[in-house]
Amino acid sequence: MSLEGFYRDSERVNPDKPYEADGVVKLDVNENLFLPKKFMQKVIVEAARSCDPRLYPQEETSILKMALAGVLAVQPGQLVVASGGDQVIELLVSSMLREGDEVVAVSPTFSMYPRFAAIRRLRYRPVELGPGFALDPAKVLDAVTPETGMIVLCSPNNPTGNQFKMEAVLELLEGFSGPVLVDEAYAEYGEYSLAGEAAERENLILLRTFSKAYGLAGMRLGYAVTNTRLAQVLNERYLPPFPVSSLTLWAGISMLRNRDKVEAAVREAKMDRRRLIEALNGLPGVQAFPSATNFVLFNTEKPYMEVYDGLTRHGVLVRSIGEVPGYHDCLRVTVAPIKKATEFLRALEEVIK
């Protein structure tokens, strides 16, 4: 699709109103902008009515786990619910690793993994992706040492956006006896999930979140999927009491009851993701990469910080990435509804001139 075609389609969304920018266009942290704000506010109001804030959470966690188990086709006992994906990472790092242990991480990856490793004084060993951002299981396993306490990878991967071949991830699980954390924060936008593998594998832990597809980034709700034995240990011995508020739990329950709206928003995001990639690749000096997430990574001929600063001056926030395997000037942009995507594209077109 040409850029002009993209603009024409955006004008058809509201043909009676001319294009106009409405303040800062925030496309830097991969929030779900396809679920209407009014709908999400209604969800929060309903959640507030469902809970008694004077009381600690009662049955809400169990209700949420039952609903999630039905969606994922797993058992409720395989789930560990926490305050956002970050708390899941902290829980796993603090319970499974000791100071000086080694973490082998498929790189580039989510920025919180090297950060948590530094906080916990772990040795962080990144293993770079291969050509085309491909996962090479043999290369990762070759990096394992007797001190390796965990392998970490994101699939779909942040920031490259691609989902690794399932066979490659399973090869890692077979080749390493220790825990393998697979971050599936963007799984709803990808082609598959490993949730069905978790029950029978002693070393597989999946990280999932309500911050992306479910639109609850501000509520902080995440969870892990693993085997029942490990989930029981994490829930009973290491998870702090009442880690998630009643309000947040009821919001998660409500979103699971509104899965039709979530799935519709994901479908819309996937369609606009394709359009965004095509439009970016139509710009001179820009290369956008395939994505299985709600963001798109792209490389520019101009230095990436020059492009980032130029977009910021135009009121558009994206994520500066820099170097990834094979490319030096990359940025990451959230997939957004067409009007905001158009504002981003028009700003980018000006910046790269």
What is residue 235's DSSP assignment? I
User: b/e string for 268-288 if b means 16 or more Cβ within 10 A?
Assistant: ebbebbebbbebbebbeebeb
Tell me the residue ranges of DSSP E strands in 236-294: 286-288
What does the pLDDT read at residue 6?
Answer: 63
**pLDDT (0 to 100) of residue 16:** 37
Q: What is the pLDDT of residue 9?
A: 59
3 state DSSP class of 151: strand
Strand partners, 205: 181
Three-class secondary structure of residue 294 per DSSP: coil
Go through the domains of the chain in sequence order and give each one's CATH number. 3-27+260-351 (3.90.1150.10), 39-257 (3.40.640.10)
Closest to 223 in 3D by CA, of 68, 116, 79, 72: 79
Are 110 and 154 in contact by the 8 Å Cβ rule? The answer is yes
What one-letter code names the amino acid at 129?
L
User: Nearest-5° angle of CA 334, CA 151, CA 295?
Assistant: 5
User: For the chain, how far is it from start to end, CA to CA, in angstroms?
Assistant: 20
Answer whether 339's CB lies under 8 Å from 13's CB.
Answer: yes
Phi, psi angles (nearest 5°) of residue 154: -105, 130
Residue by residue, pLDDT tens for the chain (353 residues) are: 556 666 665 555 443 333 334 578 999 999 999 999 999 999 999 999 999 999 999 899 999 999 999 999 999 999 999 999 999 999 999 999 999 999 999 999 999 999 999 999 999 999 999 999 999 999 999 999 999 999 999 999 999 999 999 999 999 999 999 999 999 999 999 999 999 999 999 999 999 999 999 999 999 999 999 999 999 999 999 999 999 999 999 999 999 999 999 999 999 999 999 999 999 999 999 999 999 999 999 999 999 999 999 999 999 999 999 999 999 999 999 999 999 999 999 999 999 98
